[in-house]
Amino acid sequence: MRRFSLVVAAFLMACSGAPSGKGTDFEVNSGGKQQREPTSSDEASDSTTDEDAADDEEPVLDGGTTTPAPSTATVTLDGVPMTVTAMEIQQGSFSAGQYNMFIRFEGPGAPKTSDVYVTGKVTGTGCVPDGAVPEGNMLVVRLKAVEGKGWSTFSPKLSAPDPACGLTVSEVPTSVGARFTGSFSGKLTKSDGAQTKTVEVRFDVRRTE
């Protein structure tokens, strides 16, 4: 009987001791089941997952909408890149559904406040004559005079609509937040016919009002 009591006592002492072995990370929960405690590698994995999820999120405005892409425009005259300083869209007053855009730039041979003036009404390619009430799209380049008064105006010099003038309008900004996008590639002639310029223009401008 004494031997049996000693055996029981030894068994109980063995059960009350900490489990043997290195790196043990289990404990007994209130339900009597073993539960593994989180390790440092688990925490690092969770942190990485949270960071990855944050990287995937798009920036949003206060109203919860996705931040719009910034407006961009490039202007090249006779192969020389200009510096674009401002972009502005106005709703046209000459014809319903017409939108006017000014891309102001400066650079060699183009004093400050020179601009590209684009009139857009429909998507597609081609130009209508400058100076007429627009029923389509039109583009002119106005180089500010060196003395600061007036402009030298360059345009396609059309007498009739030309579907191959070099202008493409991909999107017309019919509402606030919409974009005016397109491009021009071709030669423009000075209003007095004395000079031509090779012009490259690309624009993607958001309407803000």
Mean pLDDT (the chain) is: 77
Average pLDDT on 48-76 reads 66
More confident residue, 143 or 53: 143
- Rounded Cα distance between 183 and 135, Å, is 19
Tell me the residue type at 21: G
Q: Is the pLDDT of residue 51 over 50?
A: no
**Secondary structure of 100-156 in HEC code, one letter for each residue:** EEEEEEEECCEEEEEEEEEEECCCEECECCCCCCCCCCEEEEEEECCCCCCEEEEEC
pTM of the full structure? 0.67
Q: What's the whole-number mean pLDDT along residues 88-112?
A: 86
Q: For the residues 136-161, what does the mean pLDDT come to? A: 85
Distance CA 167, CA 200 (A): 10
Percent of the chain, pLDDT > 90?
47
**Per-residue pLDDT tens for 108-135?**
989 988 999 999 999 999 999 876 666 7
48-62, 64-78, 171-185, range with greatest mean pLDDT: 171-185
Q: What is the pLDDT of residue 2?
A: 47
3-state SS, residue 16? helix
Taking residues 44-73, report their average pLDDT: 61
Residues paired with 88 in a beta bridge = 102
Confidence tier at 151 by pLDDT (50, 70, 90): confident
Give pLDDT tens digits for 10-46.
444 544 444 444 443 434 344 444 445 555 555 544 5
Range 86-97 average pLDDT? 79
Per-residue pLDDT at 42: 52
